[in-house]
Chains A and B, each alone.
Chain A
Amino acid sequence: MVSETAIPSRAASTPAREAWRAFAGNPAAMAGLALFIVIALVAALGPLLYPVDPFAIVSAPMSPPASDLPLGSDYLGRDVLAGLLDGGRVTLVIGISATCCTVSIGVLIGAFAGFYGGWIDAVLMRVTEFFQVLPPLLLAMVLVTLFSPNLMTVIVSIGLVNWTGVARVTRAEFLRIRQQEFVLAERAMGAPTRRIMWRTILPNALPSLIVITTLLVGTAILFEAALSYLGLTDPNVMTWGLMIGQSRNYIWETWWAVTFPGLAIVLTVLGNCLIGDGLTKALNPATRAR
């Protein structure tokens, strides 16, 4: 729960710096940040430094790691390491794009619900409840299946199913902040609604939103992995989930082809989690004070 003291919209610099200091003092959070940065760098630079096409057959099929290729080859003879590097790029891009989608939808819905209240709030909350009743991953599977598996469908589908948490948090924040003195003052002065919502209230809701956004990236990555494991993805694009899914029938003969992509997912989401945790603690003045 975020503190009671109002954070004036202009004086955001000091709390931010304080938050950063709190974050930096948290070894787990820093470890997560380091991990995530490393992974992002590897994903961005890896394919440039190790320019092997993940789809190309470059070795004898099913060769173990360190024999011919650093991480071995899969059942077709494709380079597992190349798959990891290329897959990293795609996975991160999808994770971040889908999260942008999710956050956009969630913030819009939550903001309107929290700001206007009344029947708008009631309707939007029912919609949110509705989307909570449909299991998100299942809904994403259905959407991708119905609308044909390609990258766009995957991103939009993941984006469409995960927004309820964001909406709730945004709504709660808007409800709280709109009653603050400075907001009431602006309204009294006749400032346009748009300005109040997006220029005044939203920035103050950021701390909670940042946390939930960060964690959503991890969720999006896990969703993408599940969808591509099931084959619900563009088969011309290598992702970690796709690697695991395609080697489904060969897990004993080529355990490395399923182990390494999975480890990559774990590490990425772990780093993301640690950052999220760290941000939660850092942005929450109550715990900061300790």
Chain B
Amino acid sequence: MTTNDRDDRPLAPRQGATRRTFLQQASLAAGGVLIGSAVTGQPALAQTPKRGGTLKLVHSKMNNINPAIQSGIATMVPGAQIFAGLVQYDAEWHPQPYLATQWETAKDGLSYTFHLRDDATFHDGTPVTAEDVAFSLQTVKANHPFGVAMFGGVSGVDTPDAHTAVIRLAHPVPSLLISTSSVLLPIIPKHVYDNGPIRTNPANVKPVGSGPFKLKAYDPAQYLILERYEHFFRPDRPYLDELIFQFMDDPSAIMIAMSRGEMQYWGYADQQRNIMRLEQQSTLGTTRKGYEAIGPLNWLAFNVRSKPLSDVKVRQAIAYAIDKNFIINKLFLGRAKDATGPIAPDGFFYDGKVERYAFNLDKANQLLDEAGYKRQANGTRFSLTLDWNPQGGNEEATLPAQYLKSQLPKVGIAIELRPSADFPSWAKRIANWDFELTMDEVFNYPDPVIGVQRTYICDNIKKGVIWSNTQGFCDPEVDKTFAAAALEVDPAKRKALYAEVQKRLADELPVYWLNEIAYTTVYDKRLRNLPLTIWGAMGPFDEVYWGEKTG
């Protein structure tokens, strides 16, 4: 799952991965039963893991420590250490056993049976049972922002015995398995959390889970300390004694702390200049792996309700007028990846065979002429406002916005920049459709039903809700394809459906995708077995240990 023979440079995605997964899941399509590996075997390691040591991680403050009701990096990373899930994922999008030793899905795809380990216990000593699984799923379904998207199709959870949970579905839910990742469906103990409204449950800041680490201390303003859970169900794991999540927001302070070795792990870093400075240090390594499951995208959204943006030719013209090379290489220092569609380039269903809109000013001008927007005497065809939220600096949105103001006049589109005062003002504007163009950053999450389709389907046009289909884009074909893909169990067919919808959306351009946000992990090179799965730090750190200094 993890190796440490990496150098410091960001890695290219592994090409073979997709094919292998595909084959593995193809056997599922054969209508049979897939038995998940009962072996928690890890690849043979070069060194013997050493027990002991503390790891200090740079982190952000969180509202609570319950990933069952709270999304967001701040809660999910520690949540993945405290809570275990039914399965965990590796770097090739393969599910691996975790609390579940094996699982089967029925021929008709309408139920999933999970066989739980019998030796898993919560941090208070009570055994993990199927009741807890049922309770957890219901809690997530009712309270999590993505609860309905992930488990809306679940009609019930049966618990025939203490270690078997059967999730019954009203219709096939191909995203179900990945939705049982520990950060999306953390298994929370019923006897702790089922005593009143979950949002105000004191356990939200005194969590009890069955993951490798348990709560030691929590100061909401300063730190969260986790210590090894001695009875974690994997023998000898976790190797580390303690995880200390230090809440730090100040970029300079983080820089100094990382370089002095006071902090040893900094995930979800996106300030490229600072990262580059830290890369100079021989004691630190960086990696771009570990973010595939969240698929963060940066895009330019069009409000397609009124002219001129209601005309697809106009949107395409804008796309042709943007030199993405410049944005990625000059503004983002060459460290972001080109995004070509609704699914991030590192995403599982990514398909790059779509219309690309290579930078071409002539084409752009031509399209605008065809659309009927002639240049007036002063060279302008029409003017558009461009919104974004500059709060916190937000270079991801501000730099392209400034670029667009300068670039689009080349094809006769005058841009008026309209920075919002802060996030609530921006969100209010966009959610109430009071915009023409806006920059936005949105996460895919690992399955398109969770974080992708919400932007494009007619059903999700909800006034007042940010990150719904605020563009007003409605194409029945797209909806049909998304709906079909949401139910398609055959992996090959599913992939084809998503390829189709990516193609169609790239033709229709309700938004124009600029780049995948270049999240990076900066870490102390002595660390071994860093979690570099698709979930990255949102997966358990049970195998991480301190090795000897290399070189």
Residues of A with Cβ closer than 8 Å to B? 53, 55-57, 61, 75-78, 148-149, 231, 235-236, 246, 249
Q: Chain B 172-205, CB within 8 Å of chain A: the 1/0 string? A: 0000000000000000000000000000000000
Are A246 and B390 closer than 8 Å at their CB atoms? no
Known A55-B405, A76-B402, A249-B273; judge A235-B410 contact (CB<8 A).
no
Known A56-B410, A231-B390; judge A236-B330 contact (CB<8 A).
no
Instruction: Report B-chain residues with C-beta under 8 Å of the C-beta of A78.
Output: 406
Are A55 and B330 closer than 8 Å at their CB atoms? no
Q: Which of B273, B390, B402, B409 is the one whose CB lies under 8 Å from A53?
A: B409
Interface magnitude class on chain B:
10 to 19
Interface-facing stretch out of B206-214, B230-238, B253-261, B415-423: B415-423
Are A56 and B419 closer than 8 Å at their CB atoms? no
Are A57 and B407 closer than 8 Å at their CB atoms? yes
Least CB separation from B405: chain A residue:
A55
Least CB separation from B326: chain A residue:
A61
> Chain B nearest CB: distance from A210 CB in Å?
39
7 contacts between A and B (CB under 8 A): A55-B405, A55-B409, A56-B409, A56-B410, A61-B330, A76-B406, A246-B402
Are B406 and A148 closer than 8 Å at their CB atoms? no
Are B402 and A57 closer than 8 Å at their CB atoms? no
Which of B390, B402, B406, B407 has most A Cβ within 10 Å?
Answer: B406
Are B330 and A57 closer than 8 Å at their CB atoms? no
Instruction: Report A-chain residues with C-beta under 8 Å of the C-beta of B410.
Output: 56-57
> Chain A nearest CB: distance from B117 CB in Å?
52
> Chain B nearest CB: distance from A78 CB in Å?
6
> Chain B nearest CB: distance from A251 CB in Å?
13
Instruction: Report B-chain residues with C-beta under 8 Å of the C-beta of A148.
Output: 421
Is B382 close to A, CB under 8 A?
no
**Secondary structure type dominating chain B contacts:** helix
Q: Which of B273, B390, B417 is the one whose CB lies under 8 Å from A236?
A: B417
Instruction: Report B-chain residues with C-beta under 8 Å of the C-beta of A235.
Output: 402, 405, 417, 419
Least CB separation from A235: chain B residue:
B417
**Other A-B pairs, 10, CB within 8 Å; known A56-B406, A235-B419, A246-B402:** A55-B405, A57-B406, A57-B407, A61-B330, A75-B330, A77-B406, A78-B406, A235-B405, A235-B417, A236-B405
Query: 6 tightest A-B contacts by CB?
Result: A235-B417, A57-B406, A55-B406, A76-B406, A236-B417, A148-B421
Instruction: Report A-chain residues with C-beta under 8 Å of the C-beta of B326.
Output: 61
Q: Chain B 322-362, CB within 8 Å of chain A: the 1/0 string? A: 00001000100000000000000000000000000000000
> Chain B nearest CB: distance from A85 CB in Å?
17
Instruction: Report A-chain residues with C-beta under 8 Å of the C-beta of B390.
Output: 231
> Chain A nearest CB: distance from B331 CB in Å?
8
A235, B385: Cα distance in complex, Å: 12
Instruction: Report B-chain residues with C-beta under 8 Å of the C-beta of A76.
Output: 402-403, 406
A10, B421: Cα distance in complex, Å: 53
Instruction: Report A-chain residues with C-beta under 8 Å of the C-beta of B330.
Output: 61, 75
Instruction: Report B-chain residues with C-beta under 8 Å of the C-beta of A55.
Output: 405-406, 409
Instruction: Report B-chain residues with C-beta under 8 Å of the C-beta of A149.
Output: 419
A78, B405: Cα distance in complex, Å: 11
Are B409 and A236 closer than 8 Å at their CB atoms? no
Instruction: Report A-chain residues with C-beta under 8 Å of the C-beta of B273.
Output: 249
Instruction: Report B-chain residues with C-beta under 8 Å of the C-beta of A249.
Output: 273
Are B416 and A236 closer than 8 Å at their CB atoms? yes
Instruction: Report A-chain residues with C-beta under 8 Å of the C-beta of B407.
Output: 57
Instruction: Report A-chain residues with C-beta under 8 Å of the C-beta of B403.
Output: 76
A78, B417: Cα distance in complex, Å: 16
Instruction: Report B-chain residues with C-beta under 8 Å of the C-beta of A231.
Output: 390
Instruction: Report B-chain residues with C-beta under 8 Å of the C-beta of A61.
Output: 326, 330
Least CB separation from A57: chain B residue:
B406
Which of A55, A56, A249 has most B Cβ within 10 Å?
Answer: A55
Least CB separation from B425: chain A residue:
A148
> Chain A nearest CB: distance from B410 CB in Å?
7
Q: Chain B 392-429, CB within 8 Å of chain A: the 1/0 string? A: 00000000001101110110000011010100000000
Least CB separation from A62: chain B residue:
B330
A246, B403: Cα distance in complex, Å: 12
A236, B330: Cα distance in complex, Å: 22
Least CB separation from A249: chain B residue:
B273
> Chain B nearest CB: distance from A152 CB in Å?
15
> Chain A nearest CB: distance from B69 CB in Å?
34
A78, B407: Cα distance in complex, Å: 10
Instruction: Report A-chain residues with C-beta under 8 Å of the C-beta of B402.
Output: 76, 235, 246
